[in-house]
Structure 1
Amino acid sequence: MDPSSVALLASGNSLGAYIPAMHLHTFLKGKGIETEIHVLENLYHAEIRDKIRITKKAFHSDFNIARMGHKLAKPIDSSLDEEAVQTLLNRWKEAKITCFAVFTGFWIPILMRYEKVADNPVDIQLIRMDAIDTPSFKVHKQLYPRFNNVWFYDPSKLSPYSYLNSNEEEPLPYHCRSGRILIHGGGWGIGTYKDTVSELREIGYALDVIVYDSSEVEENDGITRYYGTKVSWDPWSRDEQGQHTFPPMIHYVREDGILHEYPLQDYFEYIQLMRNYAAIISKPGGSTLNDSLAFSIPFIMLEPFGDHELHNAAYWESCGFGIRFTEWKNQGYSRHLLVEICRRLLEQRSTINHFGRITYAAKNNSYV
């Protein structure tokens, strides 16, 4: 099937279903392949999008609420604006779109509707970046087997299938890195990540902390750095050219109680920071597994959010690509251990290819 145009179906509800899509979008654009990202929330009624922002704050404030909400996932039919859905289906049909890369299972019923009206056979690939079903796929467990499910982390194979990044830049050798550790709570800033900051500062680690809210930024100590996403940005928003974008990142510095904001030039400046990290500390979300593999960064895993993250942690640990925070602490926050984990990641990374090259670019040599 001609991969000269690919629709990437993402979600703003989780950056784990948005950032990988943006990486693939950027990579394919660089190969001359036309792509367009569609964010599910743009098909929602406006009041539903407003509720997402409220839910996000509640989940950030209380990890127990987040875990409870995770268990209540259900199909999104009642959230959809039928007029917006029909407009999109008509647009795909008119443009003769046949190739889809799907990053959240909530798109499945919409795609089944498109299959019925499309003039040509449709190639739908469900991109599975967790070791088991996430809630969006679990609610459509009876539907998704009929599609091509691309499992990046098949638990029966302790060797990841592929990775996603905006380019194919090689990871830095460990001894060339800054030695700093990245700490974050995923796109919604949830979990126990904040508890590790003071603990690691006391033993001498230099940290980069992704905050959910600028109020979390502490007084500048000359070592710890704070970053965050521009408050007004949402994954379902578009720029002046009508395009979806990577999160606009800001470097925060608080001095004498005054908060200063220094916007990063672009998301690739943040990626260059990431390439230099000695480790990532976060909950084991699928997108963070991808960061760990794509940049060969040892993953120190905090308490998981949901069953899929529990399985992600077990998988990454079994592969030798990460360690649970409690175990790393028991081993004296070992730097040598991180070096060994990085070595295994670098070995694995050297044996696999970028997903975009495997699936799309390689199908049409004129784009490679």
Structure 2
Amino acid sequence: MSKKIAAPKVLTSLFGFGVYFPARITANSLKTVGFDSEVLLIEHLFTDAKRKTFEASKIAFSKNYKLAKLATKLSVDSSDMFDPDKVEILFKRWEAAKVSEFLCFSGLWLDLLSLYSKSNPQLSVKLCRLDAGDAVTWRMNDEVAIQETYSFLDLNEGKINYKLSIPTLHYIPFGERKQSVVIHGGGWGLGNFLETTQQLPENLIKRILVKDFSKYVSQKKNTTFYMNDPNWDPINNGFGVSHFPRLGEIISTDTILYSNNNDYHSALDLIVDSKAIISKPGGMTIVDSIITGTPLIYLDPMGENEKGNQILIERLKIGASFTAWQHEKFSIEMLLEFHENIERIKIKLPELTSKIIADLKK
């Protein structure tokens, strides 16, 4: 009789959607093949003071991109980050269930895994890293034995290693897509994406994701604004029925039409029907690019991790800087070439969940 394989706990964070979204998509994929993997947020273990600091940082970084970039250079001190009572409750729950298999999407979990391993040395920890460059949150803890590291983007080898699959996302061939671009600043609405993209040609449809009404810009021709549901707050309120924030189309200052999808964030429905994504070069944005076959026109990178992503985008010719695209007079033919490169790369990539399952069975 074959031994039952334990479903890994999926460890992530809302420090950025770039570590939460891929964790949730992976957990969903595991569930379809019988692994009911629980998704855990590191923020649920924060002290109340640390939660308040976290929320204040999101607001400050959204308003000041220079401050956000500076923060990427500072090491993360976890000494006063966690509430010991919350950590003890979690560890007791894990011990009672004999939990030993972990899939870690955020380096913020490493110190806690180190602490848990002192009384549970038989841990199996697998890391999932999205960025090509190094992020300060991935400061390695030598006391944690890492069984496997799944790096989506490999700067040293100059390649993409994995893809995520979302069967319920309807793929639209490039030639049938709208003459549109999706513009955003990541989950925290970072950077000067609103100002930079004012230079786009008027006939190009702009679908712009903003953080809140404070960055809402008066409607212009061929421009639609969207925002995430501000009431989606799994850190303080739990997930409820929605694993992803609803995305709302801003009709007016008092009317927002929301759509929801529990398999993926609804921005992908916009991206898969567009010619390009315009954003800072985040790791998850590149994953979105691969999922949908949509070129990435990148803006100013936020830290060393995103600078590594930028280098890989250029090397693989799956996108270009906004300045380079502007120099080519915002050529759609240039985007088509990038799209074809993405599709050639994607067809050869292994699916991450399949690789994880194969490793779990070893």
Q: TM-score, normalised by structure 2?
A: 0.91
Q: Which amino acid aligns with 1:25?
A: A
Q: Match for residue 274 of structure 1?
A: 271
Q: Match for residue 246 of structure 2?
A: 248
Q: Match for residue 290 of structure 1?
A: 287
Q: Match for residue 332 of structure 2?
A: 335
Q: Deviations over 1:152-207 (max 9, x none)?
A: 1111323311022444857432112223211000111111211133211x442101
Q: Matched residue pairs, number? A: 358
Q: Match for residue 35 of structure 1?
A: 37
Q: Match for residue 25 of structure 2?
A: 23
CA 1:195–1:311 in 2, change beyond 3 Å: closer, same or farther? same
Question: Would the aligned equivalents of 1:296 and 1:346 in 2 still touch at CA under 8 Å?
Answer: yes
CA 1:222–1:192 in 2, change beyond 3 Å: closer, same or farther? closer
Among 309, 312, 326, which residue is 2:323 paired with? Answer: 326
Q: Match for residue 125 of structure 2?
A: 124
Equivalent residues in 2 for 1:166-177, closer than 5 Å = 166-167=166-167, 171-177=171-177
Q: Match for residue 261 of structure 1?
A: 256
Question: Would the aligned equivalents of 2:182 and 2:270 in 1 still touch at CA under 8 Å?
Answer: no
Q: Which amino acid aligns with 1:50?
A: K
Q: Match for residue 314 of structure 2?
A: 317
Shift of residue 229, structure 1, vs aligned partner: 1.1
CA distance in 2, matches of 1:244, 1:95: 26
Question: Would the aligned equivalents of 2:8 and 2:37 in 1 still touch at CA under 8 Å?
Answer: yes
Q: Match for residue 234 of structure 1?
A: 233
CA 1:107–1:265 in 2, change beyond 3 Å: closer, same or farther? closer
CA distance in 2, matches of 1:70, 1:143: 24
CA distance in 1, matches of 2:192, 2:165: 27
CA distance in 2, matches of 1:2, 1:311: 40
Q: Match for residue 81 of structure 1?
A: 83
Shift of residue 28, structure 1, vs aligned partner: 1.3
Among 7, 10, 15, which residue is 2:9 paired with? Answer: 7
CA 1:64–1:106 in 2, change beyond 3 Å: closer, same or farther? same
CA 1:215–1:175 in 2, change beyond 3 Å: closer, same or farther? same
SS in 2 for 1:79: coil
SS in 1 for 2:193: coil
SS in 2 for 1:337: helix
Question: Would the aligned equivalents of 2:125 and 2:145 in 1 still touch at CA under 8 Å?
Answer: no
The alignment status of 1:349 with 2:357, answered yes or no, reads no
Unaligned runs of 5+ in 1: none
RMSD, aligned CA: 2.4
Question: Would the aligned equivalents of 1:209 and 1:225 in 2 still touch at CA under 8 Å?
Answer: yes
Question: Would the aligned equivalents of 2:268 and 2:288 in 1 still touch at CA under 8 Å?
Answer: no
CA distance in 1, matches of 2:4, 2:138: 27
Q: Which amino acid aligns with 2:134?
A: D
CA distance in 2, matches of 1:166, 1:16: 16
CA 1:169–1:158 in 2, change beyond 3 Å: closer, same or farther? farther
CA 1:180–1:2 in 2, change beyond 3 Å: closer, same or farther? farther
Question: Would the aligned equivalents of 2:104 and 2:126 in 1 still touch at CA under 8 Å?
Answer: yes
SS in 2 for 1:300: strand
Shift of residue 299, structure 1, vs aligned partner: 0.4
Q: Match for residue 191 of structure 2?
A: 191
Q: Deviations over 1:263-316 (max 9, x none)?
A: 113355443222212111111111111111121110001000011111110011
SS in 2 for 1:35: coil
Shift of residue 239, structure 1, vs aligned partner: 4.5
Q: Deviations over 1:108-130 (max 9, x none)?
A: 12112222323x73221111111
Identity %: 25
The alignment status of 1:98 with 2:100, answered yes or no, reads yes
CA distance in 1, matches of 2:289, 2:212: 24
Q: Which amino acid aligns with 1:75?
A: D
Q: Match for residue 163 of structure 2?
A: 163
Q: Deviations over 1:197-244 (max 9, x none)?
A: 3211x4421011110112333344462111111112235245475x77
Q: Which amino acid aligns with 1:185?
A: G
Q: Match for residue 204 of structure 1?
A: 203
Unaligned runs of 5+ in 2: none
Q: Which amino acid aligns with 2:258?
A: P
CA distance in 1, matches of 2:284, 2:306: 11
Question: Would the aligned equivalents of 1:193 and 1:282 in 2 still touch at CA under 8 Å?
Answer: yes
CA 1:71–1:65 in 2, change beyond 3 Å: closer, same or farther? same
Q: TM-score, normalised by structure 1?
A: 0.90
The alignment status of 1:148 with 2:143, answered yes or no, reads no
Question: Would the aligned equivalents of 1:214 and 1:252 in 2 still touch at CA under 8 Å?
Answer: no
Question: Would the aligned equivalents of 1:20 and 1:165 in 2 still touch at CA under 8 Å?
Answer: no
Q: Match for residue 56 of structure 2?
A: 54
Question: Would the aligned equivalents of 1:184 and 1:282 in 2 still touch at CA under 8 Å?
Answer: yes
Q: Which amino acid aligns with 1:207?
A: K
Question: Would the aligned equivalents of 1:5 and 1:97 in 2 still touch at CA under 8 Å?
Answer: no
Q: Match for residue 182 of structure 2?
A: 182
CA distance in 2, matches of 1:145, 1:325: 41
Question: Would the aligned equivalents of 1:206 and 1:223 in 2 still touch at CA under 8 Å?
Answer: yes
CA 1:275–1:100 in 2, change beyond 3 Å: closer, same or farther? same
CA distance in 1, matches of 2:181, 2:15: 26
Question: Would the aligned equivalents of 1:168 and 1:354 in 2 still touch at CA under 8 Å?
Answer: no
